Structure 1
Amino acid sequence: MEPLQLKAVIFDWAGTLVDFGSRAPLRAFMQVFADAGITVSEEQTRIPMGTEKKEHIRRMLQQESIQVSWQEVHGRPSQESNIDKLYQQLAPLQIQEIDKHSQIVPGADKLFIHLRERNLRIGSTTGYSREMIEGMLANAQQQGLKPDCVVAADEAAGARPGPAAALKNVIEMEIPSVSQCVKVDDTAAGIHEGHNAGMWTVAVVLSGNASGLSLDSWQALSEEEKRIQSCSAYQKLESCGAHYLIDNISKLEPVLVDINRRLALGQRP
């Protein structure tokens, strides 16, 4: 019996393949809460990042400081109807921000070429709904990113950290075993999604939510500032359970080689 080898890489989008620093969801959530009279910080907004967007709103309102502010402004605890309304207001704002932040992460186009050369299938999941990502997918394709499978948050039962979207990729791409798949993501929720689907997991640290800096802001840092920022970002994700942590997807290739080595030795995720 031949040893198993990798068959597919399943990526997240914002902060992993596009939108260096995962800025689009941040700006949209902060704006929709501001429109409701609630000032939220970037740190508060990033805590649930990677989850489906209505769930993200729900988890933000579960934060004690935000809930206190909500009750002060609105006179009672938030209810599910408030979450529904905030989500409805979020959608158009989110689409605008996504369209503004659809530039691919440096190296993503070359990585796709390398993956094709290795005969690997390319899948993807996201915390965005299908409506939110249509423009982003078109822009990404123009920049060289055309995955074999895209599963949006509203297209699989059970949002992240549940495994449904990742497993739907496995089914649609006809991958024989989940252990032959790698889930690559910049959030703890996305890494847990991969774990729950039985896959290898790789956390990208500096291009995504843990760092939170745009590409221009990152490049403007001094080498010492980059070192400090990098240490802080890695600390945020070191406990997420990822099998590997890398700066960004340009560092993925050696990880794939090592996973194939481990599979050949009989190891599994």
Structure 2
Amino acid sequence: MTQKECIKAVIFDWAGTIIDYGCFAPMHAFIQTFEETGVPITIREARMPMGLLKWDHIQAILQMERVKDRWIAKFGKEPVKEDVDRLYVRFEVILMESLNMYTDPIPRALETVKQLRDAGIAIGSTTGYTSDMMKVIVPEAKRKGYTPDFMIASDEAKAGRPYPYMIFQNLIELGIYPPRAVIKVGDTVSDIHEGRNAGVWTVAVILGSSELGLTQREVESMHADELAVRMNETRRTFEQAGADYIIGSIDQLPIVIEELERSGLERGLR
């Protein structure tokens, strides 16, 4: 191990990390899907499994005790795989109808990506979206200034998050080794689990995240004390998930990279 070791790649999540401040596109679709079944869910229930493959996300919601109890009361039996399949089909239709409306870059995300590229760092990506969903998002994001060096959708790997396969494919395609020279950046607990399972560094972002669940306008208009409370709650969630670093906003990422490189990528090495 030498001090010359440096971060070679950063693998970003998409919604809630680089685009779609607050990760609202899937949240609205999940809520509408369950509303139509007669088993409405809360915003919190819609967001808790965020970052998973969307089919898995629906399954996770159905396994929540409150939701399952209401489902049984409504339909007289526990939800099964066929119910997940049916809900997913409807969810996908709802999401695809509005997905292109949620592709604006999060403030300072593009500038941060440029700073990393200028430093010779490769930009990878993983997502809970499927390849069909990404066909809508990628052209819009490109038009607005963002294109990673490599991207992979959740249905293009052996399994989505929290499994590490999308990250592994990034490392293969980008030609990056070892894993300790890589950072996974995301806005959900499943992002952190994905990164930890891949053996890379993990950085959680609070502002703009699904976990915080606020619009940019809400953040800007909220009283500073209340915002601090909300951000600290989100920070604790990421701490419990095992994030190596937690940053307030995406533009603080270069500071984390400087600290890691100063320590020779060794501090806190798992």
TM-score (norm 2): 0.95
Alpha-carbon offset, residue 243 of structure 1: 0.6
Report the equivalent of 1:174. 175
2:59 match:
58
Contact 2:188 2:204 in 1 (8 A): yes
Give the Cα–Cα distance (whole angstroms) in 2 for the partners of residues 79 and 197 of structure 1: 31
CA distance in 2, matches of 1:264, 1:208: 26
- Give the SS at the match of 2:160: coil
Displaced runs of 4+ in structure 1, greater than 6 A? Answer: none
How do 1:185-264 and structure 2 match up within 5 A?
Answer: 185-263=186-264
Q: Which residue of 2 aligns with 1:90?
A: 91
Paired letter, 2:264? L
Letter in 2 for 1:148: D
* Paired positions, count: 269
TM-score, scaled relative to structure 1 = 0.95
- Whole-angstrom CA distance in 1 between matches of 2:219 and 2:145: 23
The alpha-carbon distance between structure 1 residues 74 and 216, as it changes in their structure 2 partners (threshold 3 A), is same
Aligned residue in 2 for 1:8: 9
Q: Give, in whole Å, the separation in 2 of the partners of 1:89 and 1:24.
A: 14
Indicate the percent of aligned positions where both proteins have the same amino acid: 34
Is residue 21 of structure 2 the alignment partner of residue 20 of structure 1?
A: yes
- Give the SS at the match of 2:240: coil
Offset of residue 5 of structure 1: 1.3
Q: Tell me the C-alpha RMSD between the 2 structures.
A: 1.5
Match of 1:152 in 2: 153
* 2:81 partner amino acid: E
Secondary structure in 2 aligned to 1:210?
coil
Work out the CA distance in 1 between the residues paired with 2:221 and 2:134: 29
Separation of aligned partners in 2, 1:264 and 1:231: 27
Segments of 5+ residues of structure 2 without an aligned counterpart are none
Correspondence for 1:122: 123
Q: Following TM superposition, by how much is the alpha carbon of 1:267 offset from its aligned partner in structure 2, in angstroms?
A: 6.7
- What is the CA-CA distance between 1:265 and the residue it aligns to? 5.6
State the alpha-carbon separation in 1 of the partners of residues 238 and 230 from structure 2.
13
Cα deviations by residue, 1:78-126 (Å, 9 ceiling, x for unpaired)? 1101101111111121223322211110001111110111011000000
Partners of 2:162 and 2:184 lie apart in 1 by 12
Structure 2 Cα separation of the partners of residues 169 and 265 of structure 1: 22
